[in-house]
Each structure stands twice: as structure tokens, then as C-alpha cells.
Amino acid sequence: MSYPGVSSPLNYQPYPFAGSAYPLPGAPTDQDLMDRQVPPLGGSYNGEGTPQVPLSEREQAEHDLAELEGSYSGWVGGTASARYRSGVAGYDRLTDFETSLEASFTAANSVRFTVVPKAVFLNSGVLNVGNYTGIVGSPVIGTYNTAIAASNPNQQYANGIGGELQVATRNFAAAVGYTPYEFLVNHITGRALFRPNNHFTLFFNRDAVNETQLSYAGLYDPGTASSVYSGNIWGGVVQTVGGVRFDAGNERAGFYLTADGGELTGVHVLDNTKFEASVGAYFLAHTFPGYGRLNVGASVFGEHFSNEELQLSYGLGGYFSPQDFLVASVPVTFVGRYKSNFHYTIAGAVGVQTFQEDSQLYFPLDRALESSFQSVLNCSITQLANHSCGVYLANSNTGGNYSINTEGAYRIADHWYAGGYLSANNTNNYNTVTAGFFVRYLFRPQVGTDDYPTGLFPVEGFRPLRVP
């Protein structure tokens, strides 16, 4: 189960308690013995019908200790990902390539410290003023009115290196970071989770809104650019949100409630506030011995923003911010494995979503620009009174909702894991596809069992105290 606005909760640790039964491997083949320079077996062996020999109490204790010590291992690794957000090239489309390194270690097996530097490369393409199908109304980038422009605005890129430092215990985690330093707009980021008991989690998050290049990195206004001046800078939206989550249940069935709210600010961007809540339930539908388990649930998510700021004109943030948004879906998750070295998760959801967007001025922070723009559009007094000219019109939409998230990890050797992930959804008013892979080297060897460790390291959010 997942929920918007919050990283993986601290109480999700996909491993059994130390001391669970240790499944011995099957008898070796002749080739295994030859590789070890041991004489081959006297007869054939097909691996069937041979009982597993239980460990002695001492062997079991040694195994449990090795498993426990390995679970607090430090690690180093890297992740590479690509994200594509649909939209109009040069306007609200975005291609985002990110590469991160990380180093993580524990102190006294009770506190984990992780440093994650990240390189980000953004590209939104070039707007063709002769063909901008898909944009409602007169498209404006900053103060650049493409409806009357004689040429395409210059393409803008954004790249830089940011990152964060994390600290996590069993019931508390916190992080502080910085958005990529070469972005036009930079912010200090931070987040925290605190779990006072098994049911409640308090969370705080301050992070960039990475929906478009405008909201993530900021843009130069092409309407004020010249041969000696790049243009006014606006955008770079950061959201500061706090909330609470309630959980009840176990691995067989349960439900959750979340509620949060906060503000969104940026450089020369209309301030905004948002409130959101979600409720969901799940149950274990079926267990496939030796393969995995299937969970089915239901969820409802609602959201409200005080101002509409989807567009990219000067003073708006370029992010999805409807006045009312509701999505109801049925999530299905299969957590599986193949033997002891390969673990994977396949999660999907289908449902319906609806949203309502209010009208908005093109330049809500600059009345003189707004009046000038309305004059260019030849808005009549009646149209101005009815808010039908010189404004982004109200919009509503109801349609299907889908999401899919898959990830897998393979234990290459005692110290090595590699994996990949793929996700796609249309949860807002656009489609987003993200794919990536990761490699991790653990300092301590991992005593592998069928269920733990999985090697499914989180690529976003807090790194858990114990190896996942």
C-alpha cells in the first residue's frame, strides 16, 4: 500500500524476526563437488525426497546472530532513473534524468546515517508557436505570448547536483538537503517521521514540486529577455507539508487514514495552500507457498488547493493544483520471489478520478501586465465582468485512473544486490512514466533466507535502519 505525500513508513520492514527456521540448501550435484575438488557421489541425485537436516541449537544461534549482524550492515551504491511527463513540448512536458550515489552506515546497530548526492538533468523541449495543440486558451510562457509571437522561445535546460543527509532509528527519521545548486531557484529541503506507537505516524516534508521545469528549477521569462539579459526568473516551487497517519491491522488485513496540509511558495509565484486526506483498506487474498502472496484493497484520496496554478505564465507555478480532486481505486499487489535470491513486487490499481479547476488570471501578481494583456486580446467590458477573457477558464474532468509499480532485486553474491523498477500513472491530468535501476554493495555478508533480505532498497525516501 502506498499513500501520497509520505515516504515509506518506518514500520514497514519486510523481514522476519531473527530465529526463524533456516532452510538448508539441497544436496550438491556432481558438478558442485567437482568444482570443490571433492569426489562425485556414488549414485545419481535428483534432489527429491531427501529430508532437510535441522540445525543444532548452536548452529541455529550462530545463524541467527549472523542474520542479525548482517541486517545492520552499511552499504554503498548508485541509482539511475529516467522520468517522462506527458504534455506539450516546450511547455509542460518534462524529461528528467537523475543519477544518485549513496553511502550508508549504522552506529551501535541503532542509528543509520545515509548521505545521498544526486545529479539532475531536466529538458522540456521547444515550443512550436505554430502548433501548440493541447493547450487551452492563449499559451503564455512568462510574459511571452506565443499567440502573437513571431518566433519560438529559446529552449531552456536545467541541471545540477543536490542531495540530502539522513538519520534514521526504529521509530524516528529526519533528513536535510538542498535542491540542485545550478537550478535558477534553490531551496533547503527537509523531512521527518516520528512513530510514537504502532498505530500513529507523524510526518513533515519540505521538498521541491518536480512536475514541470518551471515548478522544479525555475525559468527565465522569455518575454523580458534581450541580447544582454536572460530575463526575469520565476518558479522553483517548494511545498512545506505536515500531517499524520493512522494504521491498524496486520499482514492479513488492515486499514489506514492520512491527513496533511501545508503551503507552496516560489520566486514570484502566487502563494498556495493545500489539504489532502486518504483512507484505505487491504486484505491478504491468497498465499502461494514458495512463490508469494496477493493483497487486494480499496482506497480513496482527496485533495484541495486554494489557487489554480497549472499554467506557466509569470506569477503561476506550473503544477497541478485543482480546487477539488478525488480518486477512488482498487489496488492489487503481489509480493513474490523466485527461490532465495530474486524478490519482486508487482502493484497496480484501477479506478476513477475527477477534478475541478477554477479560473485564474494570467498574471495574478502583476495587475499592470494583466490589464495590458487583456487589451491585446481586445477583451470587452462584458467579457471582463464575466471573467471570460484574459483569464484561464475553469475546467472539470472525470475519467479513469490507473497506476502500476513494479520492482525487483537480485542477490548476486553475499555482498551484492542489483535491481530495477518501473512505474506509470495518470493520477493528475497527465501521464508519468519512471524507470531505473540500482546496485548496492553491503559491507557485511547477508545470510539469505526465502523471505529476508529482499534487496529491494528504497531509491526515494528514508533508508530503513535494517537492510530491506
Q: What is the mean pLDDT of the chain?
A: 86
pLDDT grade for 29, boundaries at 50, 70 and 90: very low
Fold of 51-358+394-442: Porin (2.40.160)
Lowest pLDDT segment from 33-42, 153-162, 325-334: 33-42
The residue-averaged pLDDT of 259-271 equals 98
Prior bond of 51 cis (ω within 30°): no
Let me know the angle formed at the C-alpha of 239 by 461 and 13, rounded to the nearest 5 degrees.
Answer: 20
| R_g over Cα of the chain | 26
- Mean pLDDT, to the nearest integer, of 209-220? 97
Lowest mean pLDDT among 13-27, 29-43, 335-349: 13-27
Quickly count: other Cβ atoms within 10 Å of residue 34's Cβ: 12
pLDDT tens digits for range 351-399 = 999 999 999 999 999 999 988 888 877 777 777 777 777 788 889 999 9
Cell representation of residue 32 = 558442485
At 213 the three-state DSSP class reads helix
Lowest mean pLDDT among 61-70, 188-197, 222-231, 245-254: 61-70
Task: Identify which has the larger pLDDT, 362 or 28.
Answer: 362
What pLDDT score was predicted for residue 343? 96
Q: 92-96, 202-206, 450-454: which has the minimum mean pLDDT?
A: 450-454
Res 340 pLDDT > 60: yes
**Least confident window among 36-45, 298-307, 312-321, 413-422:** 36-45
Calculated CA dihedral for residues 66, 69, 75, 80, nearest 10 degrees? 70
Coil, strand or helix at 373: helix
Q: Is the pLDDT of residue 239 over 50?
A: yes
Confidence (pLDDT) at 114: 98
